[in-house]
Structure 1
Amino acid sequence: MDDSKIKQYGDELYECWRDRRTVAPLREREPDITIADAYRIQERFVARRLAAGETIVGKKIGATSKPVQDFLGVYQPDFGMLTSGMVYQEGDTLDLSTLIQPKAEAELAFVLKEDLKGPGVTAMDVIRATDYVVPCFEIVDSRVTAWNIKIQDTVADNASCGVYVLGKTKGDPRKLDITLAGMVLEKNGEVFSTGVGAAVQGSPANAVAWLANTLGELGIPFKAGELILSGSQSALVPVVDGDELVCTVGGLGSCHVKFSGSSAV
């Protein structure tokens, strides 16, 4: 795909994010679009957000678990960039009017104390480089109409990044079994889904190592202080005004979020 089209689609996705509207899937308009093309479009989309004043604070891994892969119809992980405008803390009420067609997923966030750069990063390297982990919610959102996406669409759309909510309880991954620790997701006081760390590429640390190695091949390191969202351990949860979600990770603690307002769709 030539540079003019990369710019065109990256700008289009940025404008959809800004204006809270959707567009037809890219793969339908560009049948020959490759994943490499999609990452170049993502880079342009993110660059527009940075030019508007945001900064990159971390990375996210998407499409790591079977429930999410089944929903999206994608069967390989992807990644996106986290910006300063996406961050919420537990206790905040999340305003859905800032989003288009949000869905929540529960996962584990890693906060790094050391730089990591692949290739050759292992899960143990990830554990050693991690300052702490926290339970969190990622509220994914899509600028593609009706979530009609395949891997090229979601990659171009910055891995369907919306916003994320960080729990307050910090855990040491050297003392917590993040692979076997169970996760329970409750919606409005009732159990919605259950999961376990092993559902994410065998371990959330494996997923983070995969991303470190994938980005390392592109010359992009993880930096100390960055946040890495390791991938969903739950089914995707549609959310509307008044909903409350709680995810609890065994041995770690919980993350709680409330929603208000109405999304664009």
Structure 2
Amino acid sequence: MSRLDTIAERLDSAAAKASAVAQLSTGADAITLDEAYEIQARSIARRLLRGEALVGIKMGFTSRAKMVQMGVADLIWGRLTDAMMLEDGGEASMEDYVHPRIEPEIAFRLSRPLSGNVSLPEAISAVDAVAPAMELIDSRYRDFKFSLEDVVADNCSSSGFVIGAWSKPPADIANLGMVMRFDGRPVEIGSSAGILGNPWRSLVAAARLAGRYGFQLAPGQIVLAGAATAAQPLKAGLHVALETEGLGRVDLKVKGAAS
């Protein structure tokens, strides 16, 4: 087994068992960004061999402040599988995660292939529906600490997602109000403008970045545009709801005990 395969197996096992592992960047397993994306691909390939199916990708570092914090100049992306999808109004179990957090997003559904350098009108024309969404992020690294390369290898911390009802894209999604509540109490109040100033820009970047690594987005697949606000830690017993102006609502319940 190659070095990258060994790391991919370690991260895949950590995700499957909801167990934390040491950072790669702090030991002998330091990697480059290209190697990190290759590890991500090989780790997800192990899931596909177990019967999961690719359903799209998620975007990360869509906040300019987060880019500055991490010292990067571009977005990152990870893969989504059907096993990561949670039912709107359904449940997520704390037992499936190490230290889960949740963040408000907007989801795009594609009606045609999308890959490489595309214009904003081309990206918009490839979408047949949008929806309110929330992503569960859960770094498999101890203490939720990681470098850029670490997080990319770990599928950009993507662990689960829930999507509300799909609808025809509104004329303008650049500044939709978004409120995420825990048990009815607002914990994050923001706007879709928090996603690169306009979520459509994230879709253009998704096509470019995925295409760089040989991934073509296919009709029917989903793109999570990125977080509109900071993520909030989850705990057992919570009812989480996101209301997005013009798009509607999505809900999730949290059960179980923290690991």
TM-score in same-fold range (> 0.5): yes
Moved over 6 A (4+): none
Per mean C-alpha deviation after superposition, the further-off stretch among 73-82 and 156-165 is 73-82
Q: Which amino acid aligns with 1:99?
A: Y
Is structure 2 residue 153 aligned with structure 1 residue 172?
no
Alignment match of 2:55 (pick from 54, 57, 63): 57
Residue 189 of structure 1, CA deviation: 1.3
Q: How has the CA–CA distance of structure 1 residues 68 and 96 changed in structure 2, closer, same or farther, with 3 Å as cutoff?
A: farther
Aligned to 1:216: 211
Q: Is 2:6 the partner of 1:11?
A: no
| SS of equivalent to 1:219 | coil
1:65, 1:201 within 8 Å by CA — same for their partners in 2? Answer: yes
Aligned to 1:43: 41
Structure 1 match to 2:143: 146
Query: Could you say which residue in structure 2 is the equivalent of 1:162?
Result: 159
Which position in structure 2 is the counterpart of 1:135?
A: 132
The equivalent residue for 1:183 is 178
Give the deviation of 1:218 after TM superposition.
Answer: 2.9
Deviation at 1:202?
2.0
Identity of aligned residues (%): 31
> Which residue of 1 is the match for residue 228 of structure 2?
233
Match of 1:26 in 2: 24
1:73 aligns with 2:61: no
Contact 2:77-2:209 within 8 A present in 1 as well: no
Which has the larger displacement, 255-264 or 129-138?
A: 255-264
Q: Following the alignment from structure 1 to structure 2, what is the Cα–Cα distance between the partners of residues 150 and 106?
A: 23
Deviations 1:44-66 (A, max 9, x none): 11111111111111111112124
Q: For structure 1, which runs of at least 5 residues remain unmatched after alignment?
A: none
Deviations 1:133-164 (A, max 9, x none): 11011011111111111211110001111111
User: Which structure 2 residue ranges, 5 or more long, are not aligned?
Assistant: none
2: CA distance, partners of 1:203 / 1:176:
12
> C-alpha separation between the residues in 2 aligned to 1:161 and 1:193?
20
**Pair 1:259–1:74, CA change in 2 (3 A):** farther
SS at match of 2:168: coil
Asked if the contact 1:112–1:223 (Cα under 8 Å) also holds between the matched residues in 2, the reply is yes
Counterpart-to-counterpart distance in 2, 1:122 and 1:237? 33
Shift of 1:185: 1.3
Amino acid at match of 1:41: I
CA distance in 2, matches of 1:162, 1:214: 20
Say which is worse superposed, 29-38 or 153-162, in terms of deviation.
Answer: 29-38
Tell me how far apart the structure 1 counterparts of residues 71 and 13 of structure 2 sit (CA, whole Å).
25
Aligned length: 258
How far the C-alpha of 1:109 sits from its partner, in A, is: 0.5
Structure 2 residue identity aligned to 1:151? L
1:93 aligns to 2:88 (yes or no): no
TM-score (normalised: structure 2): 0.94
Sort the Cα spacing of 1:30 and 1:203 in 2 relative to 1 into closer, same or farther, 3 A.
Answer: farther
Residues 23 and 238 of structure 1: is their aligned pair in 2 closer, same or farther, counting only changes over 3 Å? Answer: same
Q: Could you give the per-residue CA deviations for residues 203-224 of structure 1, whole angstroms, max 9, x where no partner exists?
A: 1110111010122233321100
Asked if 2 retains the 8 angstrom alpha-carbon contact of 1:102 and 1:263, the reply is no
Q: CA deviation at 1:67?
A: 6.0
